[in-house]
């Protein structure tokens, strides 16, 4: 966050990051109409190129850890043949939950860009709501940019019934 509010750094989004979040929003909107899928999508960029995507598979896989971000992290690690994703950027349609933020940090991801922010969505998406994105910064550089394309996707998360 680098001392800036989540949504005040829109100018720091690259063309590739903007395209990735717009693509994730489109995938989330489409997924919410498919049986068993939730309208949450994520992508991982490496060098400005999407190398992995994921949608929420919690209900499809009967696995509470299959959040879109977790699926995308696992796929990116396979693509790069490495668990170190420090050169990658996480893109998500929803502010990553505590589990996903922790996984990102363990993988070394230092930048996350997301659409819907915690303050504007149903409480069900955060088990430890007192934790914020800033709590995951630690002593290393970590940048979180939220609220990008939020107006296009927020309706999916307001009630928690995506």
Distance, in Å, from the CA atom of 44 to the CA atom of 74, rounded to the nearest integer, reads: 10
Catalytic residue among 55, 69, 150, 162: 69
The two tokens of residue 123 are 């409480």
Q: What order do you get walking across the sheet with 111-116 strand by strand?
A: 49-55, 41-46, 88-94, 111-116, 143-145
Distance, in Å, from the CA atom of 100 to the CA atom of 38, rounded to the nearest integer, reads: 16
Distance, in Å, from the CA atom of 111 to the CA atom of 122, rounded to the nearest integer, reads: 24
Distance, in Å, from the CA atom of 96 to the CA atom of 131, rounded to the nearest integer, reads: 12
Helix, strand, coil percentages, rounded to 5, for the chain: 40, 20, 45
Task: Tell me whether residue 16 is one of the annotated catalytic residues.
Answer: no
Which active-site residues does the annotation give?
A: 69
């Amino acid at each position: 966050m680098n001392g800036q509010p989540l949504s005040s750094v829109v100018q720091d989004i690259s063309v590739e990051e903007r395209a990735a979040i717009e693509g994730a929003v489109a995938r989330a909107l489409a997924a919410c109409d498919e049986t068993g899928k939730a309208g949450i999508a994520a992508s991982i960029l490496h060098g400005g190129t999407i190398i992995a995507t994921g949608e929420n598979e919690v209900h499809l896989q009967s696995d509470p850890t299959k959040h879109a971000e977790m699926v995308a992290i696992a796929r990116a690690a396979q693509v790069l043949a490495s668990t170190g994703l420090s050169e990658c950027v996480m893109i998500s349609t929803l502010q990553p939950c505590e589990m996903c933020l922790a996984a990102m940090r363990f993988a070394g991801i230092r930048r996350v860009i997301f659409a819907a922010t915690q303050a504007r969505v149903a409480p069900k998406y955060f088990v430890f709501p007192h934790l914020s994105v800033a709590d995951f910064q630690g002593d290393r550089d970590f940048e979180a940019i939220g609220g990008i394309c939020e107006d296009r996707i927020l309706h999916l998360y307001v009630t928690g019934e995506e």
